[in-house]
Amino acid sequence: MPETPRRARQAVTLGLVFGAVLLAGAATGAWGDPGTPARHSSADAAPAAAAATAAPVAAGQDPAGAALSQQQAEHLLGANGDRWGAYYSAQEYAEFSQGLDGRYLGVGLSVGRGEDGVTAVSRVQPAGPAAEAGIAPGDRLLRIGADQADHLPVTEVVARLRGREGERRVGSEVTLDVQRGDGEVREVRLHRTLLDSQQVAVEHLDKGVVRITVRAFTSGVAEQVRAAVRGARAGVVLDLRGNSGGLVEEAADTAAVFLDGGPVGSYQERGGTRELTAPPGGDQHVPLVVLVDGGTMSAAELLTGALQDRSRAVVVGGRTFGKGTVQQPSRLADGAVLELTVGRYFTPAGRSPEGTGLAPDVPAAGDEDADALALRVLAGLGTRA
């Protein structure tokens, strides 16, 4: 049975705020206060099955203030063929927006599932509850509460780590059974707290090269990238692989770090087109390679397209995901939020990644090491005058 937009969007959003995308597909949506300019983020969505009474909103009409049930709202999405639209309860929307503001409620733990079906810890946030309890990457997560973790979808494991209805508050407790290697199984009690999502990682490589990995575009990411670039003497590898999108304005500000003014892109909203431009003063000299793959999505594709169209970077890796539509949120009468697709966004050269993605300048062939390829390309760029 296909996931509804609400369930699928929620699943990937949980991945976003844990710093990892837990589903294969993702796309851009607008997460912000309804009625303000669109803020874009990642989500996987599919049309809902239309089995409800027709919603009292005409096609193309803004549903703000309409008294729609969840069933009516999702029927409206299906009737309009809106692949990327979604419905959120008021609480879900508030939590998702909080994630884009760079903070989330949780225990500082990301998980994944290997080919052997084992649920394992993939990342532990420094100084978070999980780290303080001695949990480390590679530890196996055996149970969460009373349930075996391996018997639950990964998205359900993440949801339980964050807390179900009634548990989503600072100080609420979750009990885990964890095991390191063949060692003793250990029961750990963690208390949820507000954590920084830490979407930027900076690594200083040899000979003055800096690798900047951006996992998603939440508030403050552009300033973190700007600070990291100041330490780059020989070049920058901007790693956007697996980047699940985020705030379009934040992605545009990140592009501006490397551009001395000029266009970044544009996107449509109801009633017109909004141009995204970079202010003067960005770094035009440091050699720049952008690493992408099939998990580079939405706002990350906008950034990639801007740097590629402006001949500011060499793009290396694989073709990007291909999500170039814009969703706009509308607050319903009961406080829930309905997002509807209102248009597309475009790179400075007028390209839309929708459906096709963006092709790299230098593709990584087969099982070629994309990291090593990026460094070879960077070495060949030399220092810009």
C-beta separation of 63 from 270 below 8 A: no
Q: Within the chain, which residue ranges are assigned CATH 2.30.42.10?
A: 107-196
Q: What is the pLDDT of residues 171-208, one digit of tens each?
A: 899 999 999 999 999 999 999 988 776 789 999 998 89
Higher confidence at residue 74 or residue 377? 377
How far apart, in whole angstroms, are the C-alpha atoms of residue 308 and residue 353?
A: 13
Query: Per-residue pLDDT for 381 more than 80?
Result: yes
Band (pLDDT 50/70/90 cuts) for residue 299 is very high
Q: Within the chain, which residue ranges are assigned CATH 3.90.226.10?
A: 200-323+343-381
How many CB atoms are closer than 10 A to CB 268?
Answer: 18
Band (pLDDT 50/70/90 cuts) for residue 44 is very low
For 181-207, b/e burial (b = at least 16 CB within 10 A) is eeeeeeebebebeebebbbbeeeeeee
- Specify the pLDDT at position 164: 72
* CATH superfamily of the 107-196 domain: PDZ domain (2.30.42.10)
- Specify the pLDDT at position 59: 59
- The DSSP secondary-structure symbol of 352 reads -
Residue reference for tokens 């803004």: 62
Of 52-61, 114-123, 278-287, 318-327, which range is least confident? 52-61
- Specify the pLDDT at position 97: 66
Higher confidence at residue 27 or residue 74? 74
Q: What is the pLDDT of residues 73-131, one digit of tens each?
A: 888 888 878 878 888 888 777 766 665 566 677 898 888 777 688 899 988 888 899 99
C-beta separation of 21 from 224 below 8 A: no
Report the top-level CATH class of 200-323+343-381. Answer: alpha beta
Q: Residues 238-247: what's their mean pLDDT?
A: 88
Can you name the residues that pair with 289 across neighbouring β-strands? 237, 314
Band (pLDDT 50/70/90 cuts) for residue 12 is very low
Q: Residues 299-315: what's their mean pLDDT?
A: 97
How many CB atoms are closer than 10 A to CB 10?
Answer: 22
CA dihedral 135, 136, 142, 143 (to 10 degrees): 40
